[in-house]
Each structure stands twice: as C-alpha cells, then as structure tokens.
Structure 1
Amino acid sequence: MEELQTKPKENKMGTMPVGKLLFTMALPIIISMIIQALYNIVDSMYVSEINEGALTAVSLVFPIQNLMIAIATGTGVGINALLSRFLGEKKFEDASNVAHHGIFLGIISSLVVSVLMFTLAPHFIRIQTTDPAIYAGGVIYMRICCGLNFGVFMQITLERLLTATGKTLCTMTSQGIGAIINIIMDPLLIFGIGPFPEMGIAGAAAATVFGQCVAACIALTLNLRLNKEIHINMRKFRPNLPLIGEIYKIAIPSIVMVSIGSVMTFGMNMILIRYLESSTAAAVFGVYFKINSIIFMPIFGLNNAMVPIIAYNYGAKHRLRIRQTVRLAATFAVCLMLIGIGLFWIVPDKLLGIFHASKKMLAIGVPALRTISISFIFAGYCIVIGSVMQALGRAFYSMINSLTRQLILLLPSAFILAVFFGLDGVWWSYDIAEIGSLILTTIFYRIVRRELIDPLPD
C-alpha cells in the first residue's frame, strides 16, 4: 500500500483527451514564440532605421545565428524526446539523468561555439561582402550575438526540460519575458536613449544577449521549483557516454537539418550579392525570414508541444493517441499556412514597409514574397511530419528530406533560375524544393507508420 502511495501519478500526456492536451500544451509555446518572432521583427525594424547597410549586415550573420541555434535546439530535441519516452515508460531516474546530461551538453556546446564565433567572424563576413560598412557591422554583430551565447544555450536546454514534462506555460513565461526585455532594450542601446550609450548595431546584439540570459535564469528557477518529475542536481554528475550517444542519435539529424538551412541561406546570399550583385536583394531575403517567422513560429511551437506527446505515447504504446495527435497537428499547420499565403499576397508592401523599405527594395520584395509564399501550401504538413519522425527516433528520414530540399533542390535551382531568368526567377526555387519535400515526406512517413505506429495496440 505504501508503494502505491509513493508511485508518481500518470502524466497528463497519457491520459488527457488528445485535442485538449495538444492545444493546452501548444498554446503557451505558440504565444511565446510569436512574441519571439515579434522581437526578431522589431530588432530588424530598429536596425533598418540606422541604414539599409546595417540591415544587410544583420542578414549576413543570420546563417551563423541559425547554425548556433541549430546546435542548441537539435540537442534539445534529443533531450526532449528521450526524456519524454522514459517518463512514458515510468523510468523516472533515467529521465532525471537525461536532464543532467542535457545541461552538461549545453555548457560544453556553448564554450566550443563561443571560441569559433570570435575567431571566424571576420572571415565569414568578408567572404560575403566587400562593402566596408557592411563588413564592420557584420563582424561586430556576429561576435556579440553569437560569441556571447551562454544565455541562449542554457535558455533552450532548460526550456526543453519544461516542455518534456508538459509544463509549456513555464516555457511561455521564460521565452516571453526574455523577448519582451529584448524589445525594450533594443531602442535604448541602439540609439542611446536616457542613460544608455548609443551603440548602433552592437546595441541590437547586446540587447539580444541580455534578454537570453534573463530567460535562462527564469527557466532554471522554474525547473528547480516546479518541475517535480525530474530532479536537477549536478553536484554528483558524471558523464555517461552511452547516454550521450542516445541523445545525439536523435539530436544530430535535427542539428544537421537546421544547419542545412544555414548553408542554404549562405548560398542564397552568395547568389544574390556575388552573382547578381544586389545587396538590396540580400536585405529582402533577410527580411523575408523575419516576416515568415510570424507564420512559422506557431508551427514550431506546435511541434515543440507535439514531440513529447508523441514520444510519451510511443513509450506507453498508445497507437490511437499518436495518430490523433499527428492528424490534429498537421491540420492546424496547413490552415496556418493558408493564412500566411493570404497575408503575403494581399499586403506584401505593408509587410516590407515595416523595415523602412526603399522603392528599390519594394520593387524586388513584393514579387519575392508572393512567389515564395506559394511554397507554404506544402511546408506546414512537411514540418509537422518531420517532427513526428524525430519524436519516434527516425530523425534520419527528416535529415535526408531536409538535405534534399535545401541543398539538392533549392540552391541548384536558384542558381540555374538566376542564370536564365535573373532575380525574379530565383524565388521560384522555393516552390520547386517544397514540392520535392512533399513527395519525400509522404514516402518516409508511410514507412514509419508501417514499422512503428501501426504495430502498437489501440
């Protein structure tokens, strides 16, 4: 009888109705990620007030920012999926051990990336531009925003621990407060308002770092006080190489997938600046990523909630709950993408106007946004299904799909279209790549369903 009283109760991910579970877990993350997306837009909006060159400099650093976050979020996916699976199997000590290893890996990754960012920043920016002002701004922004990265690594790691146990309201709190602090600090540090010095583009980077550090502190506090299903105590921690291998078995494909996006963005910047000789087009390309985050961030938030649900119920062998979760998430993602297409077609000039777009920037940007947005029709479904495969331990399929979409289809088609049709042709490469991704996603998901989901009991 005493054993029954001390046994932890069933997690809500195995008992709550799927629709309610998914949206109650996803809503706080979606809200926090929308706030994060708004921060990214506000950040670039203030930078664009300096001049278009400053906006271009920030855009050139984006691939490295994306690479850094790829390492943090990819490791977080491995931690999240493995921890949730252990909870579903009622292996609570193993779940806590995963949390300890996640924190350890976050610290080590941060140190390694910091050294690389400070060392390689001048070389990375010089490859992309010969403009002295853009070069100087890019190096400063990259060294501050990417070199001082401890806050973002700890924030993402600690928030994944909260998400893995279903405490997404806590994740919303840490992300939201961090993003709001960024938004407040941006104009103060960029333009030197009140007692703050005028730092220009360096101020934008400093505001980002400060917000990330605050968010990490909040996430740590919430884990220690509220996350009772795992017990964080690093004093007796010893690295376990087999467990690290299990984490990275799931994490590495996710890291590679997001990193491929960095390679693609770098390649597109080279096509736009070096081949087509248009720094304005590169600025438009950077602005596109800021704007589309309003549409895509909610889907990523949905995925962050969906992954632990899928992983938990796979560990608990609940086939119907997995299939219901996938169906609801995919439907929501497609509906959101349709809204995004409408915005990009109806008010593209208004969206670009947020960034003080010149007439030249509008002439390039309006057709670019409309053309690229056609690919949204397929993107929502592909993103959700890719995350399902990661949650089930088949992230390799998602990695192959991402590699094919961005490096085998998108970049080569962008270059070929640039040669034959100029700048306007480049943007159609997104639509070509997304159609190929849809085909591969469908094939891979059928294999995963047949091998992993369908054999489970109802």
Structure 2
Amino acid sequence: MTDSNENIQMITGDPKKAIVKLAIPMMISMLLIMLYNIADSIWVSGLGADALAAIGFITPLFMVLVGLGNGIGAGANSLIARHIGAKNYDEANNAALHAILLCIIISVISTAVMLIFMRQLLEMMGAGETIEYAVSYGNIVFGALFIFVYSGVASAIFRSEGDMRRATIAIAVTAVMNIILDPVFIYVLNMGIVGAAWATVFSATLSCIVMSYWIWGKKDLYLDLSPKNFHFEGKMVLDELQVAIPSTLENIVFSILAIIINGMLVVVAGTTAVAVYTASMRIVQLAMIPLLGIGTAVLTVAGVAYGAHNSENLKTAHSYSIKLGFVLSIAIGIVMYVFSSQIATLFAYTSASASMAPEIATAISILTLFVLAIPHGIMSAMMFQGVGKGIYSLIITLLRSLIFECICSYVFCFVFGWGVIGIYAGLVLGCFLGGVFGYVWAKLYVRKYQRIWDSH
C-alpha cells in the first residue's frame, strides 16, 4: 500500500506537482497508442489497398464504441477522484465497481448491435468491394468489444488514484505486443486481415489480464474492488453517465466538424485541399498530445479538489494547467513553424504527392496558431469533467467546434473571399473564441464555489 498512499498524497497535495507527475506518463501513453495504430496500418497496408481501406471503414465505428468506454472511464475517474478528495473510501470503491458494471452492460449491448447491423452500416458508409475484408475484421474486434471497453475503464481506475505508472505500463503492453503480433499473425501464420484483428484482441487482452491481476490478485491499490463493496446506487450510475455521455458526444462533434470543413475545402479548392488539410491536421493532433496529457491530469486533480471542497487547489489546477499548456504550445508551435517544409515532405515523398508539399507546409505554418489557441479551452473543459459537469464540457466543445470554428471559417472563406487560407484562419479564431468562453465560464464557476466553501 506504500505506493498507493504516495499516489493519494500526491493527488491531494500540491496541484502543480500532481499535474506534472500525472501528465508526463499520460503523454507517453498517448504516443504509444498513436505508434501502435500507425504500426497496425503499416502492416495491414502490405495486404493491399482494399485491406487498408477496410480498416478505414471499421475504425470510425470502433472508435465511437471504444470512445464510449473511455467516456465511462472519464466518468469513473471524475467520481472516484471526488470521493477520494472527500475521504469517502467506501463510495470511491463503489464508484469503481459501478464503472465496471456499466462497462459490462454497454459492451454486451454494443456487441450485439454491431454484429447484427455491421454489414448494413458498412454498406451505408460505401465500403463497396472492401466489405468482406471489413466484416471479417469487424466480427473479431466487435465480438471482443468488452476487452477494449474494460481496458479503458480499468486504466481510468488507476488514473483516478494517481497511479499513472501502472496505467502507462498497461498501455505499453498493448502497444508493444500488437506491434510484435501483427506481422506474426498476418504473414507468418498467413491469417491476413483476420490476423491483424486477432493480434489487436490478444494484445489488449494481455493488458487487461495484467490490470486485473493488480486489482484483484495483488490487491495493492488504494481502492478495494472486492464484490462485497458493491451496492447498487442509481444516482452513482447517473453521476458517471453525466461525464461519460457528453465525453462520447464530443468525439462525434469533432467528426461532424471534420465533415463540414472537408465540404468547404472541396467547394473552394477541390479534393486535393482535403488531402492537404488531413495531412496537416495529423501533425496538429500529434502536437496536441502534451495538452491532452495535461488535460487528463487536470480531470483527476480537479475532481479531488472538488471532493475536498478545496477551492484554492481547484483554482490552481485550472490556472496552472493553462499556463503550462501555453508554454508547451509555444515551444511546439515554434518547431512546427520552423520545420514546416521538412514535416510536409513526410506526406509528399512520392511523385504523385510531391506537388502537395508547399501547400501542406503553408497549412502547417498557419495551423501552428491553432495549437496556441487550444490550451485555455481544453483545460477548462477537462476541469468541468473533473468536477462532474460533463455537459458543460460538451457545451464548450459544441460552441468552439460547431459554431465558432464553422462560422468563422465560412465567413473568412466565402464572405471575405480568402479561400483555403480563410478556412484555416477561421479554425484558429473560432478555437480561440470558444476557448475564451470556456475559460471565463470556468473562472466564474470556481469563484462561485470558492465563495460557497469559504463561507462554511
């Protein structure tokens, strides 16, 4: 229990130190996830364009459902952290057990729905000639959906008590094993795309076994997840869903934004502009990993502070995360801007794509400002998730992405006549304005509870 006690002391102590200690392993975890996704695509691409396209059709469906698991994890993380802050050990245990119950229920329902309607969904998405590949892959990963949802929830349980080391190890196990098993299953055992699916399932299963051993075998967590500690509370389910559902919907919002921006780009400059935007946004997503790591840390620290009615720690967690985020954004932005031409060549290394290099470099240069416009909004949204106000986080995302970014992009592109550059500029300004709204709302929220708690 020594490590567990140290973790609890860390997340209930200095919020600045806690954010840094929690954020660094989370950044590593996200990089590992990105690496294993890239490796998966590289190995499958050796089977041909149809196999790779099949993965492309399955991935959005899979990510929505896994995203729901991550949303349950975020809800559990928030609720457990609040109970730890309030020193309510029994309720913290019960919250974790409720998250696992939700994980089981949602996995069973989602698996049944996907296995029944997957082919129809793929046909609607235009899978065409790749549909048999996609169904073969999908039957396996959706059949084992519980493994992936449980992995997200179990990892969140470790994060909720500040144990980022083991949460990171579990993700590392998945990433490393998937990279090793992919070529073995696909090529050595000659299983093709089915092998890629089984490699993904087996690597995630191993990670789940490791985490389950720590939870129920070794039993050295701060939390005690013995079945005897479970007693059903409808309110607890609702509390977790209040973060889980909005968190899942935010992923859908980002997908809708991408569709709208792609549509504008096609109208103004054709499909090449979409390819340029897709390539440049991959770099932006990579640059956002440190910010998402800090945001995930804020979720835990803010939850603990809220549960403890510690307004000073809540205020510090919010403001410090934004300052740290801006410092990292400036550093990352400088690298993106200075090396934009070199980065662009990564996506334009063949004769067919070489002509895109200057456009990609220009896009990256402008979207450097997008990275700078993110921190105050994302940290405010994650703070709201931490205190259990997932709907507030969703509202910030809706305003930023579907209103400010879309409207600004449309106005700059079509009304002002700036074309593609106007769309990029609109994304930057919209992101900044949405972030300002979220920042002001979060500040007022913290100030409100500071008055209430200080008066008691």
Q: Above 0.5 in TM-score?
A: yes
> What residue number does 1:294 align with?
286
Deviation track 1:217-246 (CA, whole Å, cap 9, x = no partner) reads 222222232543322133785543222112
**Matched AA of 2:256:** V
Measured after TM superposition, the shift of residue 34 of structure 1 is 1.9
Measured after TM superposition, the shift of residue 144 of structure 1 is 4.5
| Cα separation, partners in 2 of 1:71 and 1:14, compared to 1, 3 Å | closer
Deviation track 1:396-443 (CA, whole Å, cap 9, x = no partner) reads 221111112222344566677777676665544422431231232123
What SS class does the counterpart of residue 11 from structure 1 fall into?
A: helix
What SS class does the counterpart of residue 90 from structure 1 fall into?
A: coil
Tell me which of 33, 36, 44 is aligned to 1:36.
33
Measured after TM superposition, the shift of residue 199 of structure 1 is 1.5
Question: Aligned pairs, how many?
Answer: 445
Which deviates more from structure 2 when the two are superposed, residues 388-397 or residues 280-289? 280-289
Tell me which of 304, 308, 321 is aligned to 2:300.
308
**d(CA) in 1 for partners of 2:336, 2:15:** 32
| Cα separation, partners in 2 of 1:137 and 1:71, compared to 1, 3 Å | same
**d(CA) in 2 for partners of 1:33, 1:314:** 26
**Matched AA of 1:314:** Y
Measured after TM superposition, the shift of residue 307 of structure 1 is 1.7
Tell me which of 189, 196, 200 is aligned to 1:196.
189
Measured after TM superposition, the shift of residue 348 of structure 1 is 4.3
Counterpart check, 1:369 vs 2:357? no
Q: Is the 8 A contact 2:12 2:301 kept in 1?
A: no
**d(CA) in 2 for partners of 1:143, 1:107:** 18
Tell me which of 250, 260, 266 is aligned to 1:257.
250
> What residue number does 2:226 align with?
233
**d(CA) in 1 for partners of 2:127, 2:269:** 14
Counterpart check, 1:386 vs 2:381? yes
| Cα separation, partners in 2 of 1:415 and 1:172, compared to 1, 3 Å | same
Which deviates more from structure 2 when the two are superposed, residues 48-57 or residues 120-129? 48-57
> What residue number does 1:102 align with?
99
Counterpart check, 1:173 vs 2:169? yes
Deviation track 1:99-124 (CA, whole Å, cap 9, x = no partner) reads 11100101111222223333444444
What SS class does the counterpart of residue 217 from structure 1 fall into?
A: helix
Q: Is the 8 A contact 1:63 1:262 kept in 2?
A: no
> What residue number does 1:4 align with?
none
**d(CA) in 2 for partners of 1:329, 1:313:** 14
**d(CA) in 2 for partners of 1:427, 1:121:** 35
Measured after TM superposition, the shift of residue 157 of structure 1 is 0.5
What SS class does the counterpart of residue 166 from structure 1 fall into?
A: coil
**d(CA) in 1 for partners of 2:409, 2:47:** 30
**d(CA) in 2 for partners of 1:180, 1:77:** 24
Which deviates more from structure 2 when the two are superposed, residues 167-176 or residues 333-342? 333-342
**Matched AA of 1:150:** F
Measured after TM superposition, the shift of residue 444 of structure 1 is 1.3
Which deviates more from structure 2 when the two are superposed, residues 144-153 or residues 165-174? 144-153
Tell me which of 314, 322, 325 is aligned to 1:333.
325
> What residue number does 1:26 align with?
23
| Cα separation, partners in 2 of 1:347 and 1:150, compared to 1, 3 Å | farther
**d(CA) in 1 for partners of 2:210, 2:125:** 37
Counterpart check, 1:400 vs 2:392? no
> What residue number does 1:445 align with?
442
**d(CA) in 2 for partners of 1:285, 1:210:** 34
**d(CA) in 2 for partners of 1:61, 1:428:** 32
> What residue number does 2:115 align with?
118
Q: How much identity, in percent, do the aligned residues show?
A: 21
> What residue number does 1:83 align with?
80
> What residue number does 1:3 align with?
none
Measured after TM superposition, the shift of residue 450 of structure 1 is 2.1
Deviation track 1:105-164 (CA, whole Å, cap 9, x = no partner) reads 01111222223333444444444547635x665555555545532222111101111111
Q: Is the 8 A contact 1:37 1:297 kept in 2?
A: no
1:201-280 correspondence runs (5 A) = 202-224=194-216, 225-234=218-227, 237=230, 239-268=232-261, 278=271
**Matched AA of 2:396:** N
**Matched AA of 2:165:** L
**d(CA) in 2 for partners of 1:319, 1:82:** 17
Tell me which of 147, 150, 153 is aligned to 2:149.
153
Q: Is the 8 A contact 1:129 1:273 kept in 2?
A: no
Which deviates more from structure 2 when the two are superposed, residues 442-451 or residues 426-435? 426-435
| Cα separation, partners in 2 of 1:238 and 1:152, compared to 1, 3 Å | same
Q: Is the 8 A contact 2:330 2:372 kept in 1?
A: yes
**Matched AA of 1:26:** A
Deviation track 1:45-77 (CA, whole Å, cap 9, x = no partner) reads 445566667656545555434422331122112
Measured after TM superposition, the shift of residue 449 of structure 1 is 1.9
Instruction: Give unpaired runs (5+ residues) of structure 1.
Output: 1-7
**TM-score, normalized by length of structure 1?**
0.83
Measured after TM superposition, the shift of residue 371 of structure 1 is 3.4
**Matched AA of 1:159:** S
**Matched AA of 1:328:** Y
**d(CA) in 2 for partners of 1:137, 1:370:** 38
Measured after TM superposition, the shift of residue 347 of structure 1 is 3.6
Which deviates more from structure 2 when the two are superposed, residues 397-406 or residues 353-362? 353-362
RMSD of aligned alpha carbons: 3.5
Q: Is the 8 A contact 1:110 1:149 kept in 2?
A: yes
Counterpart check, 1:436 vs 2:429? no
